[in-house]
Amino acid sequence: MTKPVGKPNAGKPHVRFDERGEETERATSASPRLSSTLLKRNKTDAADAEAICEAITRPTMRFVPVKTAEQQAAGMVLRTREMLMRQRSQTANALRGHMAELGIIAGTGMTSIAKLLVLLRDEKDSRIPSAARFALIQFAEQIELLTTRIEKLDREILAAVRQDPHARRLMSIPGVGPLIAATVRTSVLDARAFATARDFAAWTGLTPRAQSSGGKDRLGAISKRGNRQLRTLLIVGATSIIKLAKRGLKVPVWIRTMLQRRPVKVVSVALANKIARTIWALLVRGGIYQAPTAMLKS
């Protein structure tokens, strides 16, 4: 018996239909990782369907809301920028390596690459053979082209963030810029899906992995689960705050005391965890960030 063709059911929010009127997407989808634990031996389509049906009946199953086309488009802008950033880093590393073979050493970072580009175009420099100069100029032009495209995407992201009131509130948090705010707005559709701020921080992969047994708690490194791009941006933002703290920026007492007994990278991850929890609080409760009253100079 064929499925009757009809109009979309108004009682099903965020349900999509194809041109024949058949339903193509649900409002939520179950986690494939959690569903795979219920999969029996010999993977088949029937076994997969049975595992999915079993998983969605569990009371503790977690569901993921389906993104709208606009949310998917905003995520595409961020992922495009991330890919261009990787390509620029790859090209810059290749240029730096080839120049090092000629005895021209440069440090990491785009500032050092800019100096290499100036040196590369200086035809009076005899250290660079003409054939090598011709080849490396291709790298230089590629780096400049990628930089132009990245800057264009940055302007688009900044314009979108300025039009979003929730993203503007997130940027009141120290260490949160337009990129982090835009990433949160595209990847976190409903912050209330997390019961607590700690759950949100764990979802971003900024909490230790628990390997406990026999009544003994063993906590390892961070789990690195969830959105890798968001986690990386949070750690970068936290690292920038710590760098400014060494130059005299006022920071909370716990950061100052932790820097005295733990490595900088450990403190950066801890601060990133704190920023993630603050983001959750603003998304759920509203308002803007309020700095703590007890602030000391680093």
DSSP string for 147-173? HHHHHHHHHHHHHHHHT-HHHHHHTTS
Rounded CA gap, 182 and 203, in Å?
Answer: 18
Buried b / exposed e along 72-108 (16+ C-beta atoms within 10 A): eebbeebeebbebeebbeebbeebbebbeeeebebee
* Averaged pLDDT, 14-32: 54
Average pLDDT (29-40) is 65
- Res 296: pLDDT: 43
Dump pLDDT digits (tens) for 118-168: 999 988 888 899 999 999 999 999 999 999 999 999 999 999 999 999 999
Would you place residue 211 in the very low, low, confident or very high pLDDT band (cuts 50, 70, 90)? confident
Burial of 221 (0-12, 13-18, 19+ CB in 10 A): exposed
Report the pLDDT averaged over residues 86-99: 95
Pairing outcome for strands 28-30 and 63-65: antiparallel
47 vs 89, residue with greater confidence: 89
Give exposure, 161-195, as e/b (b: 16+ Cβ within 10 Å): beeeeebebbbebbbbbbbbbbbbbbbbeebeebe
Q: What is the DSSP letter of 186?
A: H
* pLDDT for residue 12 is more than 70: no
CA atoms of 66 and 64, how far apart (whole Å) = 6
Q: Taking Cα atoms as reference points, which of 38, 32, 62, 65 lies closest to residue 51?
A: 38
Q: What does the pLDDT read at residue 10?
A: 42
What's the pTM value of the predicted model, to 2 decimals? 0.77
Residue partners of 265: CB distance under 8 A and separation at least 6: none
Q: Is the dihedral of CA 31, 34, 38, 44 positive or negative?
A: positive
DSSP annotation of 42 reads: S
What's the token pair of residue 31?
């986690």
User: Which of the four pLDDT bands, split at 50, 70 and 90, describes residue 16?
Assistant: low
Give, as one character, the DSSP assignment of residue 127.
Answer: T
Q: What is the pLDDT of residues 272-289, one digit of tens each?
A: 999 999 999 999 998 999
Instruction: Grade residue 176 by pLDDT with cuts at 50, 70 and 90.
Output: very high
pLDDT over 90 (residue 27): no
40-71 tens-digit pLDDT:
777 788 888 888 888 888 887 777 778 888 88
